[in-house]
Amino acid sequence: MNAQDSSLIFQIPDDNSPKKLEIGAGSRPRPGYIHHDIRPLDDIEIVCDAKKFPEEIYEQFDEVFASHILEHFNRFEVKNVLKEWVKLVRLGGIIDIVVPDVREMCQQLVEGHIDLEFFNYLMFGGNDYEYNVHKYGFDAALLGNMLEQLGFEIISSKSGPKWEERKRDRYCPMVRLVAKKVRR
């Protein structure tokens, strides 16, 4: 899919209510958000590649949320994808990004808490459809530095869960950064 294939199925309300966008909402969109995905699924209002959004929605959102999406872009794409997402956020708005914590995954493998097969699943994605492949790894410092270079101030940084908290039940160590856009 390329930028010309962008499809805005929904008109963003022109009122004073906070506007929130979920990038890569998939089949379980979060309530209270306008939803984006590359696939035309139920309840998806914006269908396009997350590398290029329709320009008419630039700076329209008070909050942009992306959970387990950024790692699906390769090292040559990641910074440009983040630059595109930054364009969606109003000055003073928030970007909330969740990615797998590669540093913690490696630690759990080395310590013997997870085996190589499970590590490969966490590291490289589910591979159950075309776009579900991980191509880049993050920790809090790397993602935080990228956001700061793009005009954001980190509000909060959380890592978890630890292996001891979850064992193998849907275990995936994550980094969640919430940042405020302080400059264009």
pLDDT digits (tens, 9 = 90+) for 150-161: 999 999 999 876
Task: Give the other-Cβ count within 10 Å of 51's Cβ.
Answer: 16
Could you give the CA distance from residue 164 to residue 79 in angstroms, rounded to a whole number?
Answer: 33
Domain count across the chain:
1
Examine the pLDDT at 3 and tell me if it is beyond 80. Answer: no
pLDDT of residue 74: 96
What's the confidence (pLDDT) of residue 2? 42
Print the domain residue range for 137: 3-181
| pLDDT, tens digit, 9 for 90 and up, residues 94-145 | 999 999 999 999 998 998 888 999 899 999 998 888 888 999 999 999 999 9
Share of the chain above pLDDT 90, in %: 72
pLDDT of 164 > 80? The answer is no
Query: Residues 6 or more apart from 149 whose CB is under 8 A from it?
Result: none
The C-alpha atoms of residue 21 and residue 61 are separated, in whole angstroms, by 7
Model pTM? 0.89
CB 49 within 8 Å of CB 37: no
Query: Could you tell me the CATH number of the domain that includes residue 122?
Result: 3.40.50.150
Q: How far apart are CA 130 and CA 26, in angstroms?
A: 13
The answer, yes or no, to whether residue 77 has pLDDT greater than 50, is: yes
Q: How confident is the model at residue 1 (pLDDT cuts 50, 70, 90)?
A: very low
